[in-house]
Structure 1
């Protein structure tokens, strides 16, 4: 079971206990329908509840769940049915987190956040003042690339433009870099949301050029202009599950495996890779990591490898390694024939006016 599925199941179980206590004898099918699960899944959940209880419990303190008759009966679960209450330290920590979140650029569900803050502040009482002081000392710094200050300035402008477009429901015009094709594209986008995934910001929106929902990495948006046009996405535009479906590989993609030296480790952060592992026994001696990535066109990978030079080696496919080697040899030959300061027609190493004897 994945982490996300486990979290969903835990939330369901915590909601299931008070519900079943209030609806003793409810048919299995009706209870399953209430939670949007199958009858089989409900039985699995009841089997798990059967071995649950409060911390430090004795065997007689376990929840008693019965469903053999086709109806569900629950007992010995009153402590779990009581409303949960936050301790003061928990409330303060949550308030600090929410106040910090309020500083994040691109957050557009402001009403829900403000409402949660107001309710927690009232419940926390005097502790809310301490939370406010603690939150004020927390700095939120949204960075796209620490190595590129200019890139951060561009990203800040892009985030501000996207936030304005979302707030005012207006269309955006983007100039976007597509590394897999090493090209810049111009496109109009109806923004849907800004989302942060694994420390990177993405703009999700309806792309009129592709006629579909697309995710745009903010650090690859070179320019974002808010247009004087309605930015309402069409009814068929549906947000993607970025946790499970950030990238959609094609079965026709080429799988490329590279060994990277420490100085080329940034490749795994900048490009979408399938995996990053320790180099194997067959690895290049300078390798610090081995990455796998998918691409529809290996030409950009070849250009990347020529740029990395001695910082990377191709493990697979072998034809890419041959292609890169030949391109490097050709580039070196061209460089040797035209050293800086030489005039056309001179032999390499000649000075003006000199000829070999």
Structure 2
């Protein structure tokens, strides 16, 4: 959409909003389009495209036909937009409700629906429904991004398009292509599931996203209708948790302390549990390799444990069960194959480092302007820099918006028929809004982002108590209407902390300004260390909580996972106020420093979400849907683990030494499995 088309659509919208009886196509062509050259057929196509654009922004163009005439006669058909049917109802929120709402919206900061949550909050701000609210100390939950497949499935689900993907069936262990109508997405037992109609099998099926082995293809030319009243949370409630199994693994001496904490040693004289498949003939047990310990590890899902064990590379070998060994080998093989491919002929843009953001379009500009006008109506006299900051754009971009707006208005174009906005003294005032004083109703994505976020917050007792969560949910359900009903197709994960005592100790220290002493296990270093830290704040990804603190040992900001803190207590000293947290939530899991290593990676199509997860500074799209990404890493020792874990979704291109190290790591890991089959049998 060009800038001129943006202005034309805005003028068309204002004209259709400000007519009581409707305008004929000829009137619109003359007074809005000023089109005297196109044929009737060409103009008709352009007008229908513009109607479709307005519908995407939430404005349904009504067709009014004169009595006694056919609707296919342009001369007797009039068009208008109802002033009330497309508008967001008034939503009045208390400060407590605003606090809960902001927390719910921020859940999606780095996940699917993140931009939709931001747009929904801006609409409430534009309508004057949000008041200033203070976030509670130590409470900032987030939903962990579930990868590019999740993003694609959410889009297909809301647009009601079927999808195609390759899937590893748990019952057969075979990889098969599936054609599915996506009805809903939800989290259960720490895993994301797709619930939908499998066209190949003619029935409802549940698909675990961790078992998708290809990118998701959205069939945009096809559509489906989901079941009436579908609720994904109710569907997933009937799923039984997988039984606990035992894996037998050989682990390098003195390595993988975290895995050892969950494991038990196997005596040399004992046969490993689960070594034989049911019904298989009795046979001997292969001896552990020299320099390794044989352990049993409890697990429920082979794919989940397989991802972890693959990251350990040659430091661990799976002996049994075969399903788990296959999951590990599949990831290692895919990672090795991806690492061996020719380096793509591509480069980053010359514009220097910029954060990875979706390219802004004219559609974004028009959507923003439709939020901007009602926002200015309810916030007269704000400084132009503050307005730009509220909308996440530069002052120049905002002034470009305002210049288009002041040239837009009713078809006749008289001064009183134009939007009247002034910012000569850097304070923005609007005196003529032309029925754009209220934002358009929530889209499905926006309603889903807020309502699913509110539902997710039910897992936090300090948020669920007091009634604000329930009351704001009811208000938003009423405001969202039909779009709110469709939010039942998405259900978020639990966000309650696993160790509430550790979290409470940290929250108390943050509130009182006390310094803490902690004993911490770092899987990257495979070691336990003791540190004194100044706690700053707490936040989470799903139910994994982090403590952001100034570490006196590292002399900088660090983020500590609460489930890896083995001991935490005040040390009797006050916090030294050596650092402050970043200005906004949520914080990054990684704080950049000048001595970081800049690493260039290639991401496969289904791994492009890793660019956001690891805060890529530059990106470049590749043919076929892949991506180059430039990412900073404070420690590079664990990068081979990173590549192995993601099994063919990422590989290191530069520096060359790190690329070579990751290939050697993968080769050594695969060699372990070849060697295990050659070891003597007891």
TM-score (norm 1): 0.51
The equivalent of 1:118 in structure 2 is: 471
The equivalent of 1:142 in structure 2 is: 494
- Taking a change above 3 Å as real, the CA distance of residues 97 and 62 of structure 1, as seen in their structure-2 partners, is farther
1:192 aligns with 2:564: no
Structure 1 stretches lacking a partner, 5+ long: 24-29, 144-154, 282-287, 343-357
Mapped to 2, the partners of 1:11 and 1:289 lie a distance apart of: 32
- How much does 1:100 deviate? 0.4
Equivalent residue of 2:582, what SS?
Answer: coil
The equivalent of 1:64 in structure 2 is: 420
Match of 2:656 among 318, 329, 335: 318
- How much does 1:103 deviate? 1.9
Mapped to 1, the partners of 2:369 and 2:376 lie a distance apart of: 10
State whether residues 108 and 166 of structure 1, in contact with CA within 8 Å, keep that contact through their aligned partners in structure 2: no
The equivalent of 1:16 in structure 2 is: 376
Equivalent residue of 1:187, what SS?
Answer: strand
1:173 aligns with 2:518: yes
1:103 aligns with 2:473: no
- How much does 1:63 deviate? 0.9
The equivalent of 2:79 in structure 1 is: none
- Taking a change above 3 Å as real, the CA distance of residues 134 and 70 of structure 1, as seen in their structure-2 partners, is closer
Mapped to 2, the partners of 1:72 and 1:261 lie a distance apart of: 46
Equivalent residue of 1:79, what SS?
Answer: coil
Mapped to 1, the partners of 2:472 and 2:643 lie a distance apart of: 54
State whether residues 600 and 655 of structure 2, in contact with CA within 8 Å, keep that contact through their aligned partners in structure 1: yes
- Taking a change above 3 Å as real, the CA distance of residues 327 and 206 of structure 1, as seen in their structure-2 partners, is closer
- How much does 1:76 deviate? 2.7
- How much does 1:272 deviate? 3.4
- Taking a change above 3 Å as real, the CA distance of residues 247 and 49 of structure 1, as seen in their structure-2 partners, is farther
1:216 aligns with 2:560: yes
Mapped to 2, the partners of 1:293 and 1:248 lie a distance apart of: 12
Equivalent residue of 2:537, what SS?
Answer: strand
Mapped to 2, the partners of 1:83 and 1:66 lie a distance apart of: 19
Mapped to 2, the partners of 1:49 and 1:110 lie a distance apart of: 44
Equivalent residue of 1:142, what SS?
Answer: coil
The equivalent of 2:34 in structure 1 is: none
1:203 aligns with 2:546: yes
Pairs within 5 Å for 1:236-247: 236-241=579-584, 247=590
- How much does 1:50 deviate? 1.1
Pairs within 5 Å for 1:1-357: 13-20=373-380, 32=384, 46-51=402-407, 61-65=417-421, 74-77=430-433, 79-80=435-436, 96-97=451-452, 99-105=454-460, 114-115=467-468, 117-118=470-471, 121=474, 140-142=492-494, 156-158=497-499, 160-165=500-505, 168-169=508-509, 173=518, 175-177=520-522, 179=524, 181-189=525-533, 190=535, 192-196=537-541, 201=544, 203-209=546-552, 210=554, 212-217=556-561, 221-223=563-565, 225=567, 227=569, 236-241=579-584, 247-257=590-600, 268=610, 272=614, 274=616, 293-301=631-639, 315-322=653-660, 340-341=679-680
Measured against aligned partners, the alpha-carbon deviations of 1:114-158 in whole angstroms (never above 9, x if no partner) come to: 446436647988x99x9x999999854238xxxxxxxxxxx9524
Mapped to 2, the partners of 1:316 and 1:299 lie a distance apart of: 14
Measured against aligned partners, the alpha-carbon deviations of 1:63-99 in whole angstroms (never above 9, x if no partner) come to: 123567999774332634x567979x99997984464
- Taking a change above 3 Å as real, the CA distance of residues 13 and 310 of structure 1, as seen in their structure-2 partners, is closer
Measured against aligned partners, the alpha-carbon deviations of 1:149-179 in whole angstroms (never above 9, x if no partner) come to: xxxxxx9524x34543355447573524252
- Count of residues in Structure 1 that have an aligned counterpart in Structure 2: 300
Mapped to 1, the partners of 2:649 and 2:456 lie a distance apart of: 39
Equivalent residue of 1:215, what SS?
Answer: strand
Measured against aligned partners, the alpha-carbon deviations of 1:296-316 in whole angstroms (never above 9, x if no partner) come to: 554433566789999986533
- Taking a change above 3 Å as real, the CA distance of residues 200 and 45 of structure 1, as seen in their structure-2 partners, is farther
Measured against aligned partners, the alpha-carbon deviations of 1:162-211 in whole angstroms (never above 9, x if no partner) come to: 543355447573524252x4544333552512144xx7955242234345
State whether residues 376 and 429 of structure 2, in contact with CA within 8 Å, keep that contact through their aligned partners in structure 1: no
Equivalent residue of 2:505, what SS?
Answer: helix
- How much does 1:252 deviate? 4.1
Mapped to 2, the partners of 1:311 and 1:137 lie a distance apart of: 28
Equivalent residue of 2:558, what SS?
Answer: strand
- Taking a change above 3 Å as real, the CA distance of residues 65 and 304 of structure 1, as seen in their structure-2 partners, is closer
State whether residues 615 and 631 of structure 2, in contact with CA within 8 Å, keep that contact through their aligned partners in structure 1: yes
